[in-house]
Amino acid sequence: MTNLFLRNIGRFLFLVLFQVLVLDNIQLGGYLIPFMYVLFILLMPFETPGWLLLVSAFFLGFSIDLFEHTPGVHASATVFMAFLRPAVLKIIAPREGYEPNSFPRIHFYGVSWFLQYSAILVFSHHLFLFYLEVFSLSGFFNTFLRIILSSIFSIGLIILSQFLIFKK
């Protein structure tokens, strides 16, 4: 239990610092903006209580907001993603359900399951984030293109991280 807690704290700190120091400096034409910090919410254990998921999401988004000077934008988008996570997990659950003491990872449930899981949640996060950032429907299609391209780029990085960090 303590080991899992410390691992999650380390993952939280690493993802915030990686996002702020490395990924925030990668913006290809303003259309490919990677947000890999959402991986923290994606990788939380299945048994995480809803209140802890939402509080963790708030602090994760708030940490990014502090560094990017975007008051509440990332916090609200991350909380929205954490709010949707239990419903998404229920919708895409395997027929026999989730195994006890397993985690939402490629190596436990396969590439197609993880791709579906991460794509729904990352797209939802980006949709909420970008439209809240613009706070207007002018340039709707331009913003939607940014959402699509940034989601694909972020999901690609998340899938790649699964193969590089978590070995079977």
Residue range 6-24, pLDDT digits in tens: 888 999 999 999 999 998 8
* Structure confidence at residue 135 (pLDDT): 87
Domain ranges of the chain: 2-87+95-165
Average pLDDT over residues 141-159: 95
* Structure confidence at residue 11 (pLDDT): 93
* Structure confidence at residue 36 (pLDDT): 94
* Structure confidence at residue 108 (pLDDT): 86
Average pLDDT over residues 123-151: 93
Whether this model's pTM surpasses 0.85: yes
Scan for tokens 């340039």, then name that residue: 139
Quick one: 95 exposed, middle or buried, by C-beta within 10 A (0-12, 13-18, 19+)?
A: exposed
Average pLDDT over residues 95-101: 83
Residue 168 has pLDDT above 70, yes or no: no
Q: How far apart are the first and last CA of the chain?
A: 21
Lowest mean pLDDT across 16-20, 82-86, 97-101, 156-160: 97-101
Indicate left, alpha or beta for 110 from its phi (over 0: left) and psi (-120 to 50: alpha). Answer: left
Is residue 45 helix, strand or coil? coil
